[in-house]
Amino acid sequence: MDHTTLALIELGAVFLLLGVLGRVAQRVGMSPIPLYLVGGLFFGEGGVVGLGDIGQFTHLASEIGVVLLLLLLGLEYSAAELVGGMKRSWPAGVVDIVANAAPGAVVALLLGWGPIGAVVLGGVTYISSSGIIAKVLGDLGRLGNRETPVVLSILVFEDLAMALYLPILTAVLGGVSLVGGLTAVGISLLVISVVLVIAIKYGRFVSAIVDSDDREVFLLRVFGSALLVAGLAQALQVSAAVGAFLLGIAISGSTAENATRLLEPLRDLFVAAFFVVFGLNTDPASIPPVLVWAVVLAVVTTVTKIGTGWWAARRSGVGRLGRARAGAALVARGEFSIVIAGLAVSAGAVEGELAALATAYVLLMAILGPTAARVVEPVARRLQPRRATSGV
């Protein structure tokens, strides 16, 4: 059997399995991310079935998945919304960073993974999954709740924090000098500032460049622009993901809405490939030794995220039940955590066990997060006094 034929068979088997797993996730009401990771473990090194002929394609597909993930995330926000959200949520955002990055960093140091491991694992435990959270809030009918703007403002702050964190992480993983690292951060801050100014004042012109009444032309313009900007950002050591995120911010109005509808199926396809590739690169045998640490991190960071949401909602005058809902909504980790771990593994700058720990942690949190969001309200209602249920 020739190489192309075997590659087509393997790709078909992988995507078919992902479709089955996605359907299973829908039936049980959970995020498909844990099942995609399990699918990667199934096909990867040490898994049940090994794949050897599609490595280059899956690697490139996973990179495109990250670009599309960040592009569509940027399309959800206007520059004005980002700036406004930053002003409203920065105190809660700072508490969020300290409370949720610290557990990962401490565990990395305890395991002897050094400062680089601490930077990576701190990012993994810090960032919530905006994709999972948005879906859960929609499914539960809570988008109009009083606490939801608090949750969304924290997610906006986290997204902006990622725009700064990813270039720093790239510099750290690349082993650049202190001067080189500061230069990368400076370039990142400059690029972000320039893009926000352009998006606020001239966003309509950026939208006009990529817009088209023809769906095919529109898709080619937006997708091509995303890859081009991501590549240029990578060349400037700003991070391809951040470049795509900033492009999404610069596109506004109906153009952003149309681009989101058009690109969502592509994003879902390539992001699924990204999770599979991460699973492919993780040996299932490496997970049991770090499983206890994954459980410890899951318990601790569930408590710290709930505490963060509770405190932020309290600052906004939300009642006790709303505070509990806000905290539970933030628990889920997912795509960003794997992106961070994937960057570290690709750079070869961290221990292989870190990938296993990140995989186990995300598997736990992607399941625990939606579960916590669903059960927090009935539990909180049973625990709180009857008189405290008013005004929430």
C-alpha to C-alpha distance for 56 and 43, rounded to whole angstroms: 15
pLDDT for residue 390: 46
pLDDT for residue 389: 46
pLDDT for residue 55: 63
Amino acid at 379: V
Return per-residue pLDDT of the chain as tens, 392 residues: 677 787 788 788 878 888 888 888 888 777 787 888 887 777 766 555 666 556 667 778 878 888 888 788 778 777 666 666 667 778 898 999 999 999 999 999 999 988 889 999 999 999 998 778 877 887 788 878 888 888 888 887 887 788 778 777 877 777 666 566 667 667 767 777 777 777 777 777 888 888 888 999 999 999 999 999 888 877 776 667 778 888 888 887 888 889 989 998 888 888 888 777 777 777 788 889 999 999 999 999 999 999 999 999 998 889 889 999 999 999 999 878 888 888 887 777 676 788 889 889 988 998 888 888 888 888 877 776 654 444 44
C-alpha to C-alpha distance for 160 and 22, rounded to whole angstroms: 29
Question: What domains are there in the chain, each with its CATH number?
Answer: 3-383 (1.20.1530.20)
C-alpha to C-alpha distance for 360 and 295, rounded to whole angstroms: 8
C-alpha to C-alpha distance for 17 and 272, rounded to whole angstroms: 11
Contacts of 183 (CB under 8 A, 6+ apart): none
> Among residues 233, 238, 232, which one has the least CA distance to residue 183?
238
> Among residues 72, 111, 50, 34, which one has the least CA distance to residue 281?
50
pLDDT for residue 111: 92
pTM of the model: 0.76
Secondary structure letter of residue 32 according to DSSP: S
Contacts of 42 (CB under 8 A, 6+ apart): 17, 48, 49, 279
Amino acid at 175: G
Q: Please provide residue 147's backbone torsions phi and psi, each rounded to the nearest 5 degrees.
A: -85, -15
C-alpha to C-alpha distance for 386 and 192, rounded to whole angstroms: 48
CB-based burial of residue 216 (10 Å sphere; 0-12 exposed, 13-18 middle, 19+ buried)?
exposed
C-alpha to C-alpha distance for 328 and 339, rounded to whole angstroms: 23
pLDDT for residue 26: 80
- pLDDT for 244-279, tens place per residue? 888 888 887 888 889 989 998 888 888 888 777 777
Contacts of 372 (CB under 8 A, 6+ apart): 302, 306, 328, 331
C-alpha to C-alpha distance for 27 and 6, rounded to whole angstroms: 32
CB-based burial of residue 130 (10 Å sphere; 0-12 exposed, 13-18 middle, 19+ buried)?
buried
Indicate the angle between helix axes 253-280 and 335-347, nearest 10 degrees. Answer: 50
pLDDT for residue 388: 47
- pLDDT for 8-55, tens place per residue? 887 888 788 888 888 888 887 777 878 888 877 777 665 556 665 566
C-alpha to C-alpha distance for 373 and 302, rounded to whole angstroms: 11
Residue with tokens 């601790």: 300
> Among residues 256, 270, 275, 326, which one has the least CA distance to residue 80?
256
pLDDT for residue 386: 52
Contact 31, 364 (CB under 8 A): no
